[in-house]
Amino acid sequence: MMHSVSKAHRFAGNASIPADKSIAHRAALFASIANGISTLVNFPQSQDPQSTLSCLKQLGVPIRVFSDHTVIIEGVGRNGFCKPENPLDCGNSGTTMRLLSGMLVGQTFGCELVGDASLSTRPMGRIAEPLTAMGANITLVDGHAPIRIQPAERISSIDYSLPVASAQVKSCVLLAGLWANGRIVVRESIASRDHTERMLDLPVSRSDHQILIYSDASLPIPHGTVVLPGDFSAAAFILVATSILGTAQVHLPKIGLNPSRTGLLDVLQRMGAKIKIENVSSSEIEPFGDLTAERSRLNGISITGDQIPNIIDEIPIIAVAGAFAKGITTVRDAEELRHKECDRIDAIVNNLKILGAEIEEFEDGFAITGGTPLKGNTVSSYHDHRIAMAMAIAGLASEGTTTIQDADATSVSFPQFWETLDSLQK
């Protein structure tokens, strides 16, 4: 499907943002191995979390989905999964594939995890390596899915230093630890999102500039009611759109504000954006609050090093902010972007060049000189939801019409994205 957008002459109002996909995956996965019933309120309709639900159903977990987006999961306990009849289809979702692999290596049955064309090219050696060191029986094809898992004699303890800052790899190893006969330590030198630690209440300590996270088979798995907050990474597109083209304020209620996810707020504030954060509820495991943005004059900044994991999913839209900022916006140390749903450095640079932006590509990022007026054209989503949405916002701020090819990629994380853009322009 193609979708065209034209220069926006109005952008204001209230936007409802889908629930957080990282939290949704984890809420469903953890509820499935608890001993008790969980109610997940505001579960997202987006494809990625739905892939997690369908894999769990195939593993024999009773799941009921209601029309008000409530999902009820009857936990089967740590040893209650059934052998799936068919390969588990993780769709486009790296989080489903990596976290579920960690939960399946300690089972008494074999299974296979498969994904779509994009997921089948993403690196899985990064999970197979530590899992194999723990005794797992896991094979890949050339470092990629399909992932084949056979029962292991045992899953052993490990003290693992993450070679890449990745919450998916971290979570995979920690989750395998729930079936291990010893203690798991995962060390990260650059913090990545900490939803798994928070939601499972894992012990965490700090030493020598490292964060150490522990798991083992005796940890209780919580169950109960989880109300999912709005996805900060989806809100990011609307925050940037409002900063560069808002005609009045845009309000985004109940957005997740976990500090390991909100680096974009610091980035936008450093660029000069006016964003108000109100009604923060910090007593929750996952804090949330209301965000209000308005049009602002943005300045280029430089983003590197430890800041990158916190904004990893927001970099495509930061590039668009950079295109409309005064001066140069530089992103470095972000080589990891080449291993997302597509090579996001390549996609950002090619697409923004097509619209006339002055952007230079580096192996680990880019530098964009803002201020050149962009002109609508045809660009590709590269079948990547975040590229589709970033280019839609660039299109709304460009002269003329911009057509995004394979625009339905947005349904991976934000199924109502196009309707939300339309409603803010009315």
How far from the centroid of its chain's Cα atoms is residue 53's Cα? Answer: 16
- Closest CB 22 distance from ligand S3P, rounded Å: 3
Interface pick for ligand S3P out of 95, 243, 330, 398 (rule CB under 6 A): 95
- Closest CB 8 distance from ligand S3P, rounded Å: 27
Alpha-carbon radius of gyration of the chain: 21
**217 touches 116 (CB < 8 A):** no
Paired tokens of 307: 């800041």
Q: Does 168 bind ligand S3P (CB under 6 A)?
A: yes
Q: Which is nearer to ligand S3P, 197 or 313 (CB)?
A: 313
- Closest CB 28 distance from ligand S3P, rounded Å: 12
Binding mask of the shown chain, residues 19 to 38, with x at each position contacting ligand S3P by CB under 6 A: ---x----------------
- Closest CB 416 distance from ligand S3P, rounded Å: 19
Paired tokens of 412: 């991976």
Which residues, at least 6 apart from 207, have a Cβ–Cβ distance to it below 8 Å?
A: none
Please state, in angstroms and rounded to a whole number, the distance separating the CA atoms of residues 255 and 287.
9
Rounded to a whole number of angstroms, the distance between the first and last alpha carbons of the chain is: 23
Q: Which of 359, 407, 362, 352 is nearest to 383 (CA)?
A: 407
Q: Which is nearer to ligand S3P, 15 or 167 (CB)?
A: 167
How many CA atoms, within 13 angstroms, populate the side-chain half-sphere of residue 136? 32
Which residues, at least 6 apart from 253, have a Cβ–Cβ distance to it below 8 Å?
A: 14, 16, 230, 290
- Closest CB 309 distance from ligand S3P, rounded Å: 6
Paired tokens of 357: 């932006």
Q: Does 167 bind ligand S3P (CB under 6 A)?
A: yes
Residues 305-334 that bind ligand S3P (CB under 6 A): 312-313
Sole window of 59-67, 112-120, 160-168, 395-403 interacting with ligand S3P (rule: CB under 6 A) = 160-168
Q: Which residue's beta carbon is nearest to the bound ligand S3P?
A: 22
Sole window of 66-74, 103-111, 164-172, 294-302 interacting with ligand S3P (rule: CB under 6 A) = 164-172
Q: Does 101 bind ligand S3P (CB under 6 A)?
A: no
Residues 256-315 that bind ligand S3P (CB under 6 A): 312-313
Catalytic residue among 313, 343, 384, 422: 313
Please state, in angstroms and rounded to a whole number, the distance separating the CA atoms of residues 275 and 265.
8
- Closest CB 277 distance from ligand S3P, rounded Å: 22
Q: Does 192 bind ligand S3P (CB under 6 A)?
A: yes
Residues in contact with ligand S3P, counted by CB under 6 A, come to a total of 11
Please state, in angstroms and rounded to a whole number, the distance separating the CA atoms of residues 204 and 192.
13
**342 touches 382 (CB < 8 A):** yes
Report helix angle 47-58 to 94-104, nearest 10: 30
> Is 231 assigned a catalytic role?
no
Residues that bind ligand S3P (CB under 6 A): 22, 95, 166-168, 171, 192-193, 312-313, 336
What residues are labeled active site?
313
